[in-house]
Amino acid sequence: MARRYEVVFIMTPVLSDSQIKDTVKKYKKLLKDGSASVIHEENWGLKKLAYPIQKKSTGFYYLIEFEAEGSLIDSFEVAFTRDERVIRFLTSRMDKHAVAYAEKKRAKKAEVKEEPKEEETV
């Protein structure tokens, strides 16, 4: 039975834009090869870490929400552990409340983007 998961991973801040895109593409390909479907993804960008990790105080954050079988998660996390570009990751299973919250949040964000900006005429 496929369940919904989300993974947030932090990449080292010394990567270039193309290296970041390659890293994300690698993990999305791993998911698709494992017959998972990517529901949503967000690039949170460069953020300050709460505490230094490997003598680094910042990192590139990325979120991927996906549906997959539970057996895929172990091999997915092993790939994160072996990758030197990833300094931290957290995979969590989403319950029905988390799924509803995430969809509501995305709908609200899309609604804000669709509203046209009114220009003042004087």
**Intra-chain end-to-end CA distance of the chain, in Å:** 60
User: Taking Cα atoms as reference points, which of 62, 63, 78 lies closest to residue 30?
Assistant: 78
Instruction: Write out the DSSP string of 41-100.
Output: EEEEEEEEEEEEETTEEEEEEEEEEEEE-HHHHHHHHHHHHH-TTEEEEEEEE--HHHHH
At 88, the amino acid letter reads R
Domain boundaries, the chain: 3-114
pLDDT tens track, the chain, 122 positions: 789 999 999 999 999 999 999 999 999 999 999 889 999 999 999 999 999 999 999 999 999 999 999 889 999 999 999 999 999 999 999 998 988 998 898 888 888 877 666 665 55
Q: Please state, in angstroms and rounded to a whole number, the distance separating the CA atoms of residues 68 and 31.
A: 8
The reported pLDDT for the residue numbered 114 is 74
Tell me which residue has tokens 């931290």. Answer: 88
CB 6 within 8 A of CB 65: yes
The reported pLDDT for the residue numbered 31 is 92
CATH for the 3-114 domain, from 3.40.190.10, 3.40.50.10490, 3.30.70.60, 2.60.40.420: 3.30.70.60
